[in-house]
Amino acid sequence: MSIAVITGAATGIGRVTAETLAAAGHTVYATMRDPGDRNAAAAAELRARARSHDRDLHVAELDVTSQASADSAVERIVGETGAIDVVVHNAGHLSIGYVEAFTDDDIAHLLDVNAIGAHRVNRAVLPHMRRRRSGTLVYVGSTILVTTPPFLGPYVASKAAFDALAVVTSYEASQFGIETSIVMPGAITQGTQHFPNASRATDENVAAQYAELDPLVERTHEAHERLFEPGTTADPQEVAEEIRRVLALPAGGRPFRSVVDAARAGADHVMAFSDLTREAFVRRLGFAETLELKR
């Protein structure tokens, strides 16, 4: 079993994935911001559940908006275990509102958390994985870069950037035995604090000029919940199970991309064609080796 580091593990998909992988026998480091303060309750509960179920599950501080924090967390974990085999890039934040009303700082902050955050963690962990010439990077992406719904503009842009960074990083990492897998959840409306904790655009003057659209914005959560057929749920556990399944496969045999979407939006078909097109182009460029895992 692997030593797995999960970002954004205080709630939602990250937390459920931490418990699922630990239950499957992995050594798991559930990382989060401020486990001694703002996330103290979540950290304490994770530790208590680990003790009661005798699981190798640990809590570590890691703020993806700080390179120093990412470096420190990786150094600590490698010092304690000797290795990091898997990183699950899960940390993220949702924003809702009118694109024009988001300031440049609003959008920069969301990109910082949702896209650059994963890059910081990669910069911390990839030197270690390159030395070992092995490792797996799992990115918890989103079908939203295909579906592109209204009133979530900066979030859509940040998840598209996250996906693009995952893809282009994979070319280089693959040549050092480091595998990439992008798991794309559809809309998740249950078991997370994504919608309740979503931020809003800060330019209230601009937002006021869109006031006639406020009723549409206010039912964004409800609109996503109505995507599901009666009796169908979009549960973070389904995403966690897919990550567990991917990691159970032998190295070199893991899917580059998989979709977990109870809303059945069709992103799996779109991304399959997109990846085939991209791979064909990379081969035409003469870089076919970057598409294969070098062992």
The residue to which tokens 């934040």 are assigned: 93
Please, which residues have CB within 8 angstroms of residue 254's CB and are 6 or more apart in sequence?
136, 179, 181, 246, 247
Question: Residue 9, SS3?
Answer: coil
Q: Of 29, 98, 155, 210, which residue is the catalytic one?
A: 155
Q: How far is the C-alpha of 129 from the C-alpha of 114, rounded, in Å? A: 22
Q: Would you call 29 a catalytic residue per the annotation?
A: no
The helix (run of H) or strand (run of E) holding residue 156 is: helix 153-173
Residue 233's alpha-carbon distances to 178, 229, 262, in angstroms, are 34, 8, 7
Tokens standing for residue 1: 């079993």
Output DSSP code: residue 90.
-
Residue 267 backbone phi and psi in degrees, to 5:
-65, -30
Q: Which residues are marked as active site?
A: 155
